[in-house]
Chains A and B, each alone.
Chain A
Amino acid sequence: MNISVNLLVGFAMGLNLIALGSNRLPSLIRAMSVQGVLLGIIPLLMEKELDWRVALVALATAIGKGVVIPGLLRRAMRAASIEREVDPFIGFVPSLLLGAAGTVAAVALAQGLPLLPEHAGSLLVPGALASVLTGFILLVGRSKAISQVCGYLILENGIYLFGLLLIKTTPLLVEAGVLLDVTVGVFVIGIIVDHIQRAFDSLDTRKLTALRE
């Protein structure tokens, strides 16, 4: 596995921490969209000769995660006129510490997993685990719907990173992951449509509590 791929995965892991530490939604969205574009570049660097299916996945990923979804999220943010994540369930410093500890644990755990010789020394597995964990922290620890969607996207990015290990042998399974982006699209369009229909004022998921025992 070549060095440039590891470098990009390392960048993506750094962006995880930025996402965990930022309290302004625009910077969270920016961290996530930069990560999306990086993820789109990685498969292009992995092989010497480029397969068209791989190129297609790369293109769909970069456009979907880097342009379309961030654009939709910004629209949702404007529709709801909120800029900040205030009063999250898990504070910014604790989530940053959790994320950092998780990244270390991911690297350690990846050492213990049996990998194929050509994947040994690659950062793909630790990067995937760290992103999945970051995604979970954001999903559970943030109260604003838009932050939770960003968390879901980062979780999804982790799955995509892991999928890159399999892109040559089972491309269909990896391509299927694009459907997760569609899910996110539905999420965000849901927010926008709902906001247009009703003044769902602060888009705070804490207010989604009419349904409980």
Chain B
Amino acid sequence: MREILLILVPFVGVGAAALWRSDRTRPWLLPAVSLIHVVLSFWLLVSPPTVDPGAWLGFDPLARAVLPAVSLLFFVCAVYAVPYLALRPERPNRVFVCALLAVLGLLSAGHQARQLAVLWIATEAVTLAAVPLLHFNGTPRAFEATWKYLLVGGTGIALSLLGSLCLGYASLRGGGVGDLTFVALTAQGAGLSRPWVLIAWVLLLVGYGTKMGLAPMHTWKPDAYGEAPGIVGAILAGAVTSVAFTAILRVRAVVGAAGQGHVADQTLLVIGLFSMVTAAVFLLSTRDFKRMLAYSSVEHMGILSIGAALGGAGIWAALFHVWNNSLTKGALFLSAANIRRAAGSASMDEVRGMAVLTPRSAAIFVAGMFAVTATPPFGPFFSELRVVRVGLASGHGVAIALFLVCLLFAFFGLTRVVFGVVDGRPRQATRLAHQRFVESAGVIVPPLLLLGFSLWLGLFTPAVLQEAWSAAAAQLAPTP
């Protein structure tokens, strides 16, 4: 019941937000609803329910290992949304608040989906619900970003439907009766028709990989993250990507059960490394600090994909990294949003010296940059270290070497942009733009909180989380 509330409560919130009259007080629904959500999801994390094996929706070990991170990130972003929307009184926020809450509900459904069709419907609906969020600023550039997001994301989602149909046909060809729960598909195992399973894997990897932002299907990402409000970027990068990643993990388990796990692992490894190389190259050349965050996200999706390619222990590391990525990236997006708002631009050609004008946001931005580039003692260091150790132990020396080189170049790229923006003397135009922005507690505490969580995950990874990741890894890779 509690797990269904995770989906229902946000949708009740959508209804309330749609009927709410005042633009000024409506944003408070966001923290209110997401507070209930975060309490529920952590309660479920600590005392997981029993899941009926045939259920289409359920808080299974994989949902338990990922959904609380999404919920936590969403809650902090919702708290940030209140002062953010107060700064934008000129834009009506009814659609924005409704869409944001619908995204939360659909993400809860997507993470808990244990059936191929339900999973696809939830992911598709998230894609659509995010459209008004991207278009919130209403500028021509926002329209362009939304157009690309829809075109590339829509094609990806169409391919994942085709992949789902192929997997359904693989089951049918192997004597299945049309039961598309992942449990049933895994149980069918080697009975699944091999050519159809492989076609399905490629299509589903490309389809959900587009949603996740793996290169070369990442092209929508820099535009969307660059033009969307900071909270939307944080939620796309930290929450929507993780639902696509869990989708890939679930499908990967079926492909593994069909005896094609080695093919799946190799494709995941190659696409992961390609994403990291692409991200590193673009990080070295981008001049916009919000687009920089998008490429950094592509890099981290690559890390997740590599982790998933390394079997049970790798999946454990990847799930750890999902938490680190969500929380750290959230801190970066929110502090970047403050800097962007104060400076009136996101290009390092026009913005510098923000350490003088917005000292607190700049400090969080720099600290977040070090966290996301895996500096100890922040969480990402430990999860990436684990990926490296698992990779070396399983004989992927060359891949790990490339992985480390990419991390190094990404570090160069990120420091170049971040210090370019933070350092130096502010320009006169920036000083004028800055006068309208105050670093109030409302916009400083949320990113600081996320950074704190990232530190806490690194220093004291809670036992309950470690146990949840182990259970999920056991669910996905029965023989690690």
Contact = CB atoms under 8 A, between A and B. Distances in A.
Interface of A: 113-116, 132, 139, 145, 148, 152, 155-156, 158-159, 162-163, 165-166, 168-170, 172-174, 176-177, 179-180, 182-184, 186-187, 190, 194, 197-198, 200, 205, 208, 210-211, 213
A132 B286 CA distance: 34
B162 A173 contact: no
Contacts of B193: 114
A156 B158 contact: yes
B168 A205 contact: no
4 A-B pairs with least C-beta separation: A169-B178, A173-B117, A208-B144, A211-B223
Interface string B226-247: 1100000000000000000000
Contacts of A132: 162
A202 to B, nearest CB: 14
A8 B222 CA distance: 42
Contacts of A182: 128
Contacts of A194: 143
Contact of B144 (A113, A158, A159, A211): A211
User: DSSP class of B's interface residues: helix, strand, loop or mixed?
Assistant: helix
18 contacts: A114-B173, A132-B162, A155-B158, A162-B165, A169-B177, A170-B117, A170-B180, A172-B180, A173-B117, A176-B120, A179-B125, A180-B124, A182-B128, A183-B157, A187-B151, A200-B140, A211-B145, A211-B222
A183 B116 contact: no
Interface string B8-48: 00000000000000000000000000000000000000000
Contacts of B394: none
Contacts of B326: none
A163 to B, nearest CB: 5
A146 to B, nearest CB: 12
A213 B286 contact: yes
Contacts, number: 120
A116 B169 CA distance: 9
A152 B195 contact: no
B285 interface: yes
B147 interface: yes
Contact of B128 (A113, A152, A186, A213): A186
B210 interface: no
B421 interface: no
B324 interface: no
A68 B222 CA distance: 33
Interface in B252-291: 282, 285-286, 291
A213 B279 CA distance: 13
A187 B121 contact: no
Nearest to B141: A210
Contacts of A172: 117, 180
Residue in B145, B154, B173, B282 with the greatest tally of chain A CB atoms within 10 Å: B154
Interface residues of B, number: 49
B165 A208 contact: no
A180 B144 CA distance: 21
B146 interface: yes
Nearest to A162: B165
Contacts of B471: none
A211 B195 contact: no
B409 interface: no
B169 A165 contact: yes
Contact of B172 (A116, A159, A198, A200): A116
Given A113-B196, A170-B180, 5 more contacts: A159-B161, A166-B165, A173-B165, A176-B121, A198-B140
Contacts of A208: 144, 147-148
Contacts of B445: none
Chain A interface, >50% SS class: helix
Interface of B: 116-117, 120-121, 124-125, 127-128, 131, 135, 138, 140-141, 143-148, 150-151, 154-155, 157-158, 161-162, 164-166, 168-169, 172-173, 176-178, 180, 193, 195-196, 222-223, 226-227, 282, 285-286, 291
Given A116-B172, A148-B151, A169-B172, A159 B165 contact: yes
B282 A187 contact: no
A198 B142 CA distance: 13
Contacts of B285: 213
- Which among A158, A159, A197 has the highest number of chain B CB atoms within 10 Å? A159
A190 B150 contact: yes
B172 A183 contact: no
Given A159-B158, A183-B157, A210-B140, A166 B172 contact: yes
B414 to A, nearest CB: 16
A49 to B, nearest CB: 18
A169 B286 CA distance: 49
Contacts of B155: 139, 152, 155
A211 B226 contact: yes
B390 to A, nearest CB: 34
Contact of A210 (B116, B124, B131, B144): B144
A19 to B, nearest CB: 17
B168 A180 contact: no
Contacts of B146: 190
B147 A190 contact: yes
Nearest to B154: A183
A183 B128 contact: yes
A153 to B, nearest CB: 10
A173 B180 contact: yes
Contacts of A170: 117, 168, 178, 180
Contacts of B151: 139, 148, 152, 187
Most buried by B among A145, A158, A183, A210: A183
B56 to A, nearest CB: 9
Contacts of A116: 172-173
A158 B154 CA distance: 15
B116 A173 contact: yes
Contact of B168 (A155, A169, A198): A169
Contacts of A148: 151
A66 B272 CA distance: 41
A103 B390 CA distance: 45
Nearest to A210: B141
